[in-house]
Amino acid sequence: MRCLTCQSLSMKAICKDCQENFLSSSFYKRELEKDFFVYSFYKFDEVKELINTKYQFYGDRVFKILSTLSLQKFSSNFTFPHKIYAIPIDDHTFHQFSQTAILTKSLQSKFIKPIFNTLKATNRVKYAGKDLEFRKKHKRDFVYVGKKDIQVILIDDLVTTGLTILEAKECLEKNGCEVLFALTLSDAKN
């Protein structure tokens, strides 16, 4: 196998040298609405090709590496007065794996408990390459079937306009959940 970034021979999808030298995560913050923030770890241009591996059979290996370098690192430093829950946005399996489930699983810690298969989109429209007006007209129509009255972190792979995250937040709030913030690998505006 060859490293996806430098093309050298590697036992992993991204070699250790590239992980250390090119994929050290940062921390970006964007306010999606008053006092509600999404935090991201990479500039989109730096990881665009890696995020697009979600459409490839080997993408799960790439997402495991990215989640270890970013979200797992975040969770190991995160403290809270009590346990909170991490919920992936629509962790339905596409292309043989769910990238949001992989990201969410990496958050498991003393303070964060991932829960799966609870927040589902009933409209599976694809947003890739679509403009804001299209996104507004074609909502995801989320349904939540999980625990009520909990505090939550929302997880997605990418934030573009923020509409999906805000729609998911609204659905959770209608079900008695308090959404503290969202985490994504990358923010398309960075």
- CA–CA separation, 101 vs 86, rounded Å? 10
Is 143 within the bounds of a domain?
yes
Of 152, 143, 138, 140, the closest CA to residue 183 belongs to: 152
What is the domain-level CATH number for residue 48? 3.40.50
Is 8 within the bounds of a domain?
no
Is 103 within the bounds of a domain?
yes
- CA–CA separation, 148 vs 151, rounded Å? 9
CB 187 within 8 A of CB 46: no
Is 16 within the bounds of a domain?
no
Q: How far is CA 28 from CA 9, 25, 165, 186, in A?
A: 32, 10, 16, 9
pLDDT of residue 13: 95
pLDDT of residue 185: 96
pLDDT of residue 142: 93
Structural domains in the chain (count): 1
- Residue in the structure block whose two tokens are 């292309």: 95
- Tens digit of each residue's pLDDT (9 = 90 or more) over 92-134: 766 678 999 999 999 999 999 999 999 999 887 777 777 778 7
Is 44 within the bounds of a domain?
yes
- CA–CA separation, 181 vs 35, rounded Å? 9
- CA–CA separation, 12 vs 40, rounded Å? 24
Of 26, 54, 45, 23, the closest CA to residue 156 belongs to: 54
User: What residues make up the domain containing 30?
Assistant: 24-187
Is 1 within the bounds of a domain?
no
pLDDT of residue 94: 60
Is 13 within the bounds of a domain?
no
Return the CA Rg of the chain. 16
More reliable by pLDDT, 127 or 168: 168
pLDDT of residue 31: 97
- Above 70 in pLDDT, residue 25? yes
- Tens digit of each residue's pLDDT (9 = 90 or more) over 39-98: 999 999 999 999 999 888 899 999 999 999 999 999 999 999 999 999 999 877 666 789
Is 7 within the bounds of a domain?
no
Q: How far is CA 101 from CA 4, 46, 177, in A?
A: 22, 22, 19
